[in-house]
Structure 1
Amino acid sequence: MNQTFPKKEHLKRKKLIDLLFKQGQKVSAYPLLLFYTQAPLFEEDVVIQAGFSVAKRNHKLAVTRNRLKRLMREVYRKNKLCFQTNELTFAFMFIYTGREEVSYIELEKAMLKLISKFNSKVSAGSDDI
């Protein structure tokens, strides 16, 4: 049961990020929004590469943005094994859409709701992905 988030699981490639926002689908559970797309096989031995973003428009201070991203990464790290990928590789981008800071517990509830919505979408329409 590996609950780490190593560098090889970080979403960094510009081409993949552009593809994600151009062709990807989205699922939301306030205050989180998940953009995802099926990705070509990664060179590394990973199933999901994930990125995290907080809008500067909503959170002016870098300290606040960094804290929210740190919390999102931690919540993802603890719950990433719950994603059902059906042996496919995915690129994820988690975006924090709320205007106020939330606690870890509220963020974890939103992440679990997001995971269940994602899993139901993937299992129901695995041919549309």
Structure 2
Amino acid sequence: MKKTFKKEERLCSKRKIDSLFHRGSSFIVYPFRVVYLIASESEALTPVEVILSVSKRRFKKAHDRNRIKRLIREVYRVQKNEILYEEVNKLSVHLDIAIQYVGKEELDYEFLFVKMNKALKQLVHEISS
């Protein structure tokens, strides 16, 4: 599969986002908080939809928030196919995910890469059980 992150993979629906945060489960792998909701609906074009967020309270300047979101988007994009998509396709479910950055400072790419790997593996473990 191509390592892309298209519009169809982004969670944009306000209704879905509200239900994700009201009915979803969560866990923390520092510096990420992952909120997920498993749905059996197959109306979506992709098996996983993701929303990324960085706190405006912790990072006042928009360029800091945008840089962190760009790094998170990149580490997710590179790893999603090998770790997450294989398991979701096996289970034939639809997954909505929110990845929130809860760190207090901007971290480097290598650290975020390792932690995203750990977070995705934990997410696979949680949806499998």
Decide: shared fold, TM above 0.5: yes
Work out whether 1:95 is the aligned partner of 2:105: no
Q: CA RMSD in A?
A: 1.2
List alignment gaps of at least 5 residues for structure 2: none
Work out whether 1:17 is the aligned partner of 2:14: no
> What CA deviation, in whole Å up to 9, does each residue of 1:78-125 have, x standing for no partner?
11111122211011110000010001111111101101111111122x
Letter aligned with residue 31 of structure 2: P
> What CA deviation, in whole Å up to 9, does each residue of 1:22-74 have, x standing for no partner?
00011211001110001353544210010100001111110000000011111
Q: Is the contact made by 2:42 and 2:93 (CA closer than 8 Å) also made in structure 1? A: no
| SS of alignment partner, residue 99 of structure 1 | coil
Where does 1:10-49 land on structure 2 (aligned, <5 Å)?
Answer: 10-39=10-39, 41=41, 43-49=43-49
| SS of alignment partner, residue 3 of structure 2 | coil
Which has the larger helix fraction?
2
Identity of aligned residues (%): 35
Q: With structure 2 as the length reference, what TM-score do the two structures score?
A: 0.91
- Aligned counterparts of 1:32 and 1:42: Cα–Cα separation in 2: 27
Q: 2:114 aligns with which of 104, 109, 115?
A: 109
- Segments ≥4 residues shifted beyond 3 Å: none
Q: With structure 1 as the length reference, what TM-score do the two structures score?
A: 0.91
